[in-house]
């Protein structure tokens, strides 16, 4: 086994490893990560965040525009506040927008759905740190059951 | 009382062993790097340790990926969730099976070979010879093998993962009929570059350090006789396998827990 | 005639087994010194003490006036370049050819250009009679050839002293004759000091200028071969003549024979 053959084989080895890495990076992983690049912060207050987690997606009409970056309680009454990083490509959310906590599928993961509101002369566009005033909290199963039973009881 | 004696002595011996091993590694790695002398040695070791392990890693990766595809499909189809086969195969491999199985195979193939080679060098007095010729055997023999192991094992794990995912794809899509587009797209939305692939690479690097270190230390301190070398080789495989599995739990808890 | 190596009152133990108790000896410069003794009495340990691979618990080991045990790492490596050791098995590096093995110290410790290295290696191989075998790998050599190749490697840096660890062990008469001739000639032509550790008494006695006989953790005889043959102690005489019984007894310690056989307590 001459030195030259050995070096050749080591080169092949390295090339195979790089090929594997590229395959994994491009074909396997989620590379169209929309939270890469510039982002700005929007916040929203909910009554109940349900199963929302940090890094849950934020979608408009099903298209991912950002991710949840932090979840905390604020104020004297401990209100849940969700902080989101939205890609700067989508920087025209007016203050009439709505944020809802939705579930993908029946037993899927939860995400935040943003609906842009109508835009008018006196409506402000939300900038970095802006708060989305209209929110719909997650649906809690117990409340639903309670509602259902209550409505049954009324019949 | 003597049971405590034995236990205590064993614990102290093991701690002493770890200390010895750390000193050996430090003396081998610390010092002025001499690229002109070391590079040819490193390349040779990369060939011996990395290239020659490629075959077993690729074949094992392919089979494990195929089994994951087959077994995964069988389980998921009961829940109507066979679309999730892609992420199941990919995440199992990237996060766990790739780094761990590669490390275990590497310990068995390359680790034991390293131990035997260095043990034999000690038995035939080649290491003493180097010392008497004023060449530090740690820098010349141990260091290139260490770097070769640390470099090649993560690369082997990447290859294992790639081949395994392809194997899962072959079984799932081409044989069992999972939808081609669904396989890749659901996988892509579940596999994250930083969380899954990078963490897997970090695990491989940690395992590579541990396996190579154990193999080199056991070879360097082997009793220079035939039974001594064979005992050292067995110990390399056993100790490094246990260390890999234990560390895997710790790392998984840190990264994903 | 001064002494290149002096060992003063050295005590050495490996673990709990003591190997030397109060050993003092000198190795005269420019001569061949033979070190004889029964197996396991620590002759190889002596060489390792001189090369500072081992450190004595007590006493001094001096090479050219320097205490080997007290040298720092770089000074130690410098001093080791002045001495060579020929190991029992030759200890050639298995992944290099004979030529590469002999060239190894030159490549490591000198910055000589390649053509000069080639010349020196060929010269050294010629002096041991292996110039035609440079392309072989160590696994292709016989035991005697491997030792000669290792010998070529150990003289390539022109050391002041060579230590031979059991060079004649297990050799056929022809190889043995070749090695004896080489050791003698090299010592004279290169002005070396040689230490030959062996228990092949006749071979060593034929070339040694100075002999040291060790047993029971001490020196039991020092002097020229002539002196020891005539005036040595009983133990030395037994060793030199190879008598099966004498101060080193034939029978391992046991109960009296008839007692053991008949089961009669005396």
Give B221-256 pLDDT, tens digit per residue: 999 889 999 999 999 999 999 999 999 999 999 988
* A125 DSSP assignment: B
Q: How far apart are CA A132 and CA A125, in angstroms?
A: 10
User: Contact B125/C108, CB-based, under 8 Å?
Assistant: no
Chain B residue numbers with beta carbons less than 8 Å from the beta carbon of A16 are 54, 155, 159
User: Contact A6/B159, CB-based, under 8 Å?
Assistant: no
What are the Cα distances from residue B13, in Å, to B7, B19, B20, B225?
A: 10, 10, 10, 21
pLDDT of residue B214: 94
Chain C residue numbers with beta carbons less than 8 Å from the beta carbon of B136 are 77
Q: Is A6 on the interface with B (CB under 8 A)?
A: yes
Nearest in space to B154 (alpha carbons), one of B67, B237, B69, B49: B49
B202 membership: H or E segment, kind and range: helix B199-220
pTM for this prediction: 0.79
User: Contact B155/A24, CB-based, under 8 Å?
Assistant: no
**Lowest-confidence region among B92-101, B189-198, C61-70, C224-233:** C224-233
Chain B residue numbers with beta carbons less than 8 Å from the beta carbon of A21 are 158, 162
Q: Is C105 on the interface with B (CB under 8 A)?
A: yes
Q: pLDDT band for position A155 (50/70/90)?
A: low
Gap from B123 CA to chain C (nearest CA, Å): 9
pLDDT of residue A38: 81
* A124 DSSP assignment: P
Nearest in space to C34 (alpha carbons), one of C261, C170, C225, C234: C225
β-strand pairing of A134-136 with A98-103: parallel
β-strand pairing of C17-28 with C3-14: antiparallel
Range among A27-41, A103-117, C174-188, C214-228 with highest mean pLDDT value: C174-188
Mutate to test the interface with B, among C51, C85, C197 (most CBs of B within 10 A): C85
C136-153 residue pLDDT tens: 888 888 888 888 888 889
Q: What is the mean pLDDT of residues A64-74?
A: 87
Q: In this prediction, what percent of chain C has a pLDDT beyond 70? A: 96
Q: What is the mean pLDDT of residues A101-129?
A: 80
Q: How far apart are CA C48 and CA C70, in angstroms?
A: 15
Nearest CB partner across the interface for C91, out of B129, B134, B135: B129
Chain B residue numbers with beta carbons less than 8 Å from the beta carbon of A19 are 162
C21-54 residue pLDDT tens: 878 888 888 888 888 877 767 778 888 888 888 8
Q: Is C266 on the interface with B (CB under 8 A)?
A: no
B-C C-beta contacts closer than 8 Å: 46
Mutate to test the interface with B, among C54, C91, C101, C156 (most CBs of B within 10 A): C91
Gap from A6 CA to chain B (nearest CA, Å): 6
Q: Give all chains having 3 or more CB-to-CB distances under 8 Å with chain B.
A: A, C
Gap from C87 CA to chain B (nearest CA, Å): 7
User: Contact C88/B131, CB-based, under 8 Å?
Assistant: no
C86-110 residue pLDDT tens: 888 778 888 888 999 999 999 888 8
Q: Is C139 on the interface with B (CB under 8 A)?
A: no
Q: What is the mean pLDDT of residues B68-76?
A: 92
Sheet holding C32-36, edge to edge: C83-86, C161-165, C193-197, C32-36, C210-215, C218-223
Nearest CB partner across the interface for B125, out of C77, C89, C109: C89
Q: Give all chains having 3 or more CB-to-CB distances under 8 Å with chain A.
A: B
Q: In this prediction, what percent of chain C has a pLDDT beyond 90? A: 5
B74-108 residue pLDDT tens: 998 888 888 888 889 999 999 999 999 999 999 99
Q: In this prediction, what percent of chain A has a pLDDT beyond 90? A: 4
pLDDT of residue B248: 95
- Is residue B156 predicted with pLDDT exceeding 70? yes
pLDDT of residue B115: 95
Interface of chain B against chain C, CB under 8 Å? 37, 44, 121, 124-126, 128-129, 131-136
Tokens representing residue C129 in the block? 């009679």
User: Contact A29/B193, CB-based, under 8 Å?
Assistant: yes
pLDDT of residue A150: 84
User: Contact B54/A13, CB-based, under 8 Å?
Assistant: yes
pLDDT of residue A33: 57
C74 membership: H or E segment, kind and range: helix C73-80
pLDDT of residue B111: 94
pLDDT of residue B25: 87
β-strand pairing of C193-197 with C32-36: parallel
- Is residue C181 predicted with pLDDT exceeding 70? yes
Closest Cα in chain B to A8: B47
ipTM of the complex: 0.76
Nearest in space to B216 (alpha carbons), one of B55, B9, B33, B49: B49
Q: How far apart are CA B99 and CA B200, in angstroms?
A: 6
B176-234 residue pLDDT tens: 888 888 888 888 878 877 778 889 999 999 999 999 999 999 999 999 889 999 999 99
Q: pLDDT band for position C265 (50/70/90)?
A: low
Cα angle A29, A34, A39; round to 5 = 140
Tokens representing residue C165 in the block? 């660890």
User: Contact B128/C91, CB-based, under 8 Å?
Assistant: yes
Tokens representing residue A36 in the block? 């890469």
Chain B residue numbers with beta carbons less than 8 Å from the beta carbon of C85 are 128-129, 132
A-B C-beta contacts closer than 8 Å: 75
- Is residue C266 predicted with pLDDT exceeding 60? no
- Burial class, A124, CB count within 10 angstroms (exposed 0-12 / middle 13-18 / buried 19+): exposed
CB-CB contact of B134 with B73 (8 Å): no
pLDDT of residue A62: 82
pLDDT of residue C248: 67
CB-CB contact of B143 with B45 (8 Å): no
- Is residue A31 predicted with pLDDT exceeding 60? no
Q: pLDDT band for position B109 (50/70/90)?
A: very high
Q: How far apart are CA A22 and CA A36, in angstroms?
A: 19
Q: For C250-261, b where at least 16 C-beta lie within 10 A, e where not — what string? A: eeeeeeeeeeee
Chain A residue numbers with beta carbons less than 8 Å from the beta carbon of B156 are 17
B3-39 residue pLDDT tens: 889 999 988 888 888 888 888 888 888 877 777 778 8
């Amino acid at each position: 086994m001459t030195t030259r053959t050995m070096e050749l084989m080591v080169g092949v080895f390295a090339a195979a490893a790089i090929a594997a890495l590229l395959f994994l990076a491009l074909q396997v992983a989620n590379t169209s990560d929309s939270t890469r690049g510039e982002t700005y912060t929007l916040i929203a207050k909910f009554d109940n965040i349900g199963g929302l987690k940090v890094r849950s997606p934020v979608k408009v009409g099903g298209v991912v525009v950002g991710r949840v970056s932090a979840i905390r309680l604020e104020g004297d009454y401990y209100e849940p506040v969700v902080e989101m990083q939205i890609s700067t490509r989508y920087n025209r959310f007016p203050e009439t927008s709505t944020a809802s906590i939705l579930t993908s599928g029946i037993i899927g993961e939860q995400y935040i759905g943003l609906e842009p509101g109508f835009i008018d002369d006196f409506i402000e566009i939300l900038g970095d740190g802006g708060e989305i005033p209209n929110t719909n909290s997650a649906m809690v199963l117990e409340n639903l059951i309670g509602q259902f039973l209550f409505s049954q009881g009324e019949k | 009382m003597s049971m405590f004696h034995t236990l205590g002595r064993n614990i102290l011996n093991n701690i002493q062993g770890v200390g010895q091993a750390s000193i050996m590694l430090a003396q081998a790695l610390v010092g002025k790097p001499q690229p002109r002398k070391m590079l040819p040695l490193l390349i040779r070791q990369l060939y011996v340790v990395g290239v020659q392990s490629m075959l077993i890693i690729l074949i094992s990766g392919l089979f494990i990926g195929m089994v994951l595809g087959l077994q995964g499909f069988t389980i998921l189809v009961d829940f109507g969730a066979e679309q999730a086969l892609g992420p199941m195969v990919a995440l199992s491999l990237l996060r766990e099976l790739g780094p761990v199985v590669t490390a275990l195979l590497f310990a068995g193939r390359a680790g034991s070979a390293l131990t035997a080679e260095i043990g034999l060098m000690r038995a035939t007095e080649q290491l003493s010879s180097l010392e008497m010729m004023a060449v530090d055997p740690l820098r010349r023999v141990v260091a290139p093998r260490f770097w070769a192991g640390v470099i090649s094992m993560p690369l082997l794990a990447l290859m294992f993962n790639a081949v395994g995912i392809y194997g899962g794809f072959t079984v799932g899509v081409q044989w069992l009929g999972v939808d081609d587009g669904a396989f890749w797209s659901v996988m892509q939305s579940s596999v994250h570059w930083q969380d899954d692939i990078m963490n897997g690479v970090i695990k491989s690097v940690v395992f590579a350090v541990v396996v190579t270190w154990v193999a080199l230390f056991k070879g360097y301190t082997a009793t220079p006789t035939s039974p001594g070398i064979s005992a050292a080789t067995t110990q390399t495989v056993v100790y490094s396998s246990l260390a890999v599995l234990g560390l895997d739990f710790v790392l998984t808890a840190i990264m994903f827990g | 005639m001064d002494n290149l190596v002096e060992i003063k009152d050295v005590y050495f133990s490996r673990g709990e087994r003591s190997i030397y108790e109060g050993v003092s000896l000198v190795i005269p410069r420019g001569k061949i010194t033979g070190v004889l003794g029964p197996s396991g009495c620590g002759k190889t340990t002596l060489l390792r003490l001189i090369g500072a691979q081992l450190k004595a618990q007590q006493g001094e080991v001096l090479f050219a006036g320097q205490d080997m045990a007290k040298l720092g790492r770089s000074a130690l490596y410098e001093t080791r370049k002045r001495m060579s050791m020929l190991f029992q098995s030759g200890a050639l590096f298995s992944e290099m050819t004979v030529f590469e093995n002999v060239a190894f110290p030159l490549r490591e410790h000198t910055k000589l250009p390649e053509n000069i290295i080639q010349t020196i290696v060929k010269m050294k191989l010629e002096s041991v009679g292996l110039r035609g075998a440079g392309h072989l790998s160590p696994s292709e050599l016989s035991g005697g050839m491997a030792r000669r190749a290792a010998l070529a490697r150990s003289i390539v840096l022109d050391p002041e002293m060579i230590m031979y660890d059991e060079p004649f062990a297990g050799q056929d008469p022809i190889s043995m004759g070749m090695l004896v001739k080489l050791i003698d000639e090299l010592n004279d032509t290169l002005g070396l000091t040689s230490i030959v550790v062996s228990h092949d008494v006749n071979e060593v006695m034929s070339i040694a200028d100075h002999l040291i006989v060790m047993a029971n953790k001490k020196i039991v005889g020092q002097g020229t071969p002539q002196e020891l043959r005539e005036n040595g102690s009983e133990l030395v005489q037994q060793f030199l003549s190879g008598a099966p019984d004498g101060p080193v007894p034939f029978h391992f310690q046991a109960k009296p024979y008839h007692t053991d056989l008949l089961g009669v307590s005396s």
